[in-house]
Chain A
Amino acid sequence: DTAVSQTPKYLVTQMGNDKSIKCEQNLGHDTMYWYKQDSKKFLKIMFSYNNKELIINETVPNRFSPKSPDKAHLNLHINSLELGDSAVYFCASSQVRKASSTGELFFGEGSRLTVL
């Protein structure tokens, strides 16, 4: 069983469309994250949820809206896609809220989004 699974793995879409990426973790973790890795391989946090509560919200356009229906799921919806949104989006989870203390983030395999 995959610990952190994301769907879809690949997404190719036109500018202006709306798309969603889903993430599920079966590790029993309380905290989940969305990271974006751009073409320069820079991995940057976007959002973090702890037990369905938003705890980190970086400077991300409000076209990006995370939703956590329960602590095992964290989805990402993107409205009005732009060329610059092309990237790999990684979902991650951690056992404790302060992943910054343990450093242990468990990543999904990533969702590669290409906006044409």
Chain B
Amino acid sequence: RKEVEQDPGPFNVPEGATVAFNCTYSNSASQSFFWYRQDCRKEPKLLMSVYSSGNEDGRFTAQLNRASQYISLLIRDSKLSDSATYLCVVNGGSGDKLTFGTGTRLAVRP
């Protein structure tokens, strides 16, 4: 089983739609969780951290379910500029290593 698994997509949604991505992780000792965004042929950039109680940043909401070992990202009112690959990132539970999922591709159409 991969350490971090994501549905690769693509998710094709119209502007204004709400879309959600899930990510599962295998290491129950993981303590830190993040979402990164990677545009086509660009570098990944931190989108937001995921806190135990869930957190929101504008149109983006991240949630963590430790019991089921998954995290989610909800995007409301999708914009064309949201089109990108969203990478789920988890720390390994020990050491300083961050493990990246392979990403979920989102395509927002007009």
Within 8 A of A (CB), among B70-93: 85, 87, 89, 91-92
Partner of A103, one of B42, B49, B103: B49
Partner of B45, one of A45, A48, A107, A110: A107
How many Å from the CB of A66 to the closest CB on chain B? 15
The reply to whether B43 and A108 form a contact with Cβ atoms under 8 Å apart is yes
Q: Does B57 contact A (CB under 8 A)?
A: no
- Residues in A whose Cβ lies below 8 Å from that of B103: 41
The reply to whether B43 and A97 form a contact with Cβ atoms under 8 Å apart is no
The reply to whether A44 and B100 form a contact with Cβ atoms under 8 Å apart is yes
Partner of B46, one of A40, A45, A103: A103
Chain A, interface size: which category?
A: 20 to 34
The reply to whether A90 and B43 form a contact with Cβ atoms under 8 Å apart is yes
- Residues in B whose Cβ lies below 8 Å from that of A31: 96
Known A41-B103, A43-B87; contact A100-B43, beta-carbon cutoff 8 A:
no
How many Å from the CB of A40 to the closest CB on chain B? 6
- Residues in A whose Cβ lies below 8 Å from that of B34: 103
Q: Does B19 contact A (CB under 8 A)?
A: no
Known A48-B96, A100-B32, A101-B32; contact A42-B44, beta-carbon cutoff 8 A:
no
Q: Does A56 contact B (CB under 8 A)?
A: yes
Within 8 A of A (CB), among B38-68: 42-46, 49
- Residues in B whose Cβ lies below 8 Å from that of A105: 44, 46, 98
Question: Which B residues fall within an 8 A CB radius of A?
Answer: 31-34, 42-46, 49, 85, 87, 89, 91-92, 95-100, 102-103
A/B interface sample: 7 pairs, CB < 8 A: A35-B100, A41-B85, A56-B96, A103-B33, A103-B91, A103-B98, A108-B43
